[in-house]
Amino acid sequence: MTAVRSSAALGAAVLAVGAIAGTAAANENAAAAAPTFNGEVGRILYENCASCHREGQVAPMSLTSYQEARPWARAIKTKVVSREMPPWFADPRFGKFKDVTALSQEDVDAVAAWADGGAPQGDGPAPELPEFAGDWLHERPPDYVVEMPIEVELPAQGEFDYLDVWMEFPFEDDVYLEAVQMRPGNPAVVHHAGIFTRPMPPGTRLGLEQVQPTAQLIPQPVPINPNEDPAVKLARREAAREFTPDAQLIFYRPGGGFNRFPEGTAKLVYAERNLEFQMHYSLTGRPETDRSVAGFWFARDTPRRRMLTVGSGEFGGTGPVRIVEGEEQLELQAGTGFTRTPNIPPHADDFRITGIWPIQDDITVYGVWPHMHFRGKDMTYIVVWPDGAEETLLHVPNYDFNWQIEYDFIEPLKVPAGSTLKTVGHFDNSIRNRYNPSPDREVYWGEQSWDEMFFIFTKYTIDKEDLTKRTSN
């Protein structure tokens, strides 16, 4: 019996050793067959991830070398297979867009196989890093660089509204811009931002004012009358943020912030206006500073049309869009263009708002982008043609506040007068929303990220406009 048992044990040991050897050989074969960083995966990460995942940017780790990426191989696979990264939220059934950041299925499979195969580096040289949004992206340097007039001092934590930093317009005459780029001074804290041209509100002048929670004086429109009633002062502040179609020059988000306007179009910047940097900062837990800049490229010839941006919605926006809930148009606040949209109730998981823009002139639409906060759930842009037929331009089924993405059409869309642009958004204030800071509270419309916004942006030109016949410049 002992000899039999010993023989059986020896046979089992031989089988076990053979199995281990076979597994090791299989693993070696899998590793040998896996894509490599130098061969394929580095290019995928550099082209699609490294604009944010690099030193000094908003992403939590850098992926600009094999040594940096290798420890994160399994996490990278999880994110790309689930389509959480790179961020791109447009439903592929609707619209054809420029600069799509979503990975092809082939690239997703390559990253997954690389991680599963042990994340090998491979032979040969690593791919070269491309240029990023922190560099000037035009083929020539800017004709003019505008810098914020102060270095903004940011606290470590606390409530922080959008910060408006105003400055004088640097030119004596109106100018046409063929391209604009914004570069954050501290990309790690600039969540998103915009540069606007706006006139000073009546009864104000450009001055310095302390804006909480900063401890410094910020250039702002301040009352000419120092004893102005606080309610009037607040109304003037809101008027200073009026979003007219010709106000916005550029919108910045991590990984983006450069616009070259299509041939024959440009941004018209009026000399009698002021420039305003509108900054949305993310506090990092330690004191920070920022001094963002913008590059302007002047149009070589007078364009035919202005590039305009409608930015309208609940909280902020006096453009042509009406806000409705269900089929009931909500009451406009007298003299403001704002609507009295009800606050989002506690635990509401599908609160709906619809924006309606009746098109009164033939226009060409170049792009759209949604803006909501933590409770934002989805948004859909629809054009209703004059005959009543509807076409979906953009559907974002899983909105993510962390990524403020513009969706520019490959082919601009001609929209005739008599059409309607309709935008439908839903909000999730329930416990099922993992980003929801407090599902048991009523949600107000406001600037804090834990408040809400329903902002619907559309970039367009008016077809009948001809700037070459403009008499003043």
What 3-state DSSP class applies to 161?
coil
Q: Evaluate whether residue 124 is within a structural domain.
A: no
Q: First-to-last CA distance in the chain?
A: 107
Q: Evaluate whether residue 122 is within a structural domain.
A: no
Among 269, 265, 258, 247, CA closest to 170: 269
Residue 442: which residues within 8 A CB-CB, separation 6 or more? 343, 344, 345, 346
Q: Do 317 and 284 reside in the same domain of the chain?
A: no
Q: Do 199 and 329 reside in the same domain of the chain?
A: no
Q: Evaluate whether residue 138 is within a structural domain.
A: yes
Q: Which of 254, 282, 303 is the last residue of a domain?
A: 303
Q: Evaluate whether residue 127 is within a structural domain.
A: no
Tally the domains of the chain. Answer: 4
349-358 pLDDT, tens digit per residue, is: 999 888 888 8
Q: Evaluate whether residue 299 is within a structural domain.
A: yes
Q: Is residue 471 pLDDT above 80, yes or no?
A: no
Q: Evaluate whether residue 105 is within a structural domain.
A: yes
Q: Is residue 183 pLDDT above 60, yes or no?
A: yes
Q: Do 251 and 392 reside in the same domain of the chain?
A: no
Indicate the length of the chain as a whole number: 473
Q: What angle do CA 161, 167, 170 make, to 5 degrees?
A: 150
28-64 pLDDT, tens digit per residue, is: 554 558 899 999 999 999 988 988 888 877 778 899 9
Q: What average pLDDT does the chain have?
A: 83
315-354 pLDDT, tens digit per residue, is: 334 445 555 554 444 444 333 344 456 789 999 999 988 8
Q: Do 86 and 140 reside in the same domain of the chain?
A: no
Range of the domain at 205: 132-303
Q: Do 319 and 410 reside in the same domain of the chain?
A: yes
Model confidence band, residue 204 (pLDDT cutoffs 50, 70, 90): confident
Q: Do 192 and 166 reside in the same domain of the chain?
A: yes
83-131 pLDDT, tens digit per residue, is: 889 989 999 999 999 988 889 999 999 999 999 999 999 998 889 888 7
Q: Evaluate whether residue 473 is within a structural domain.
A: no
Q: What is the CATH number of the domain that holds 234?
A: 2.60.120
Q: Which of 303, 325, 342 is the last residue of a domain?
A: 303
d(CA 302, CA 471): 12
d(CA 342, CA 326): 12
Q: What is the CATH number of the domain that holds 337?
A: 2.60.120.230
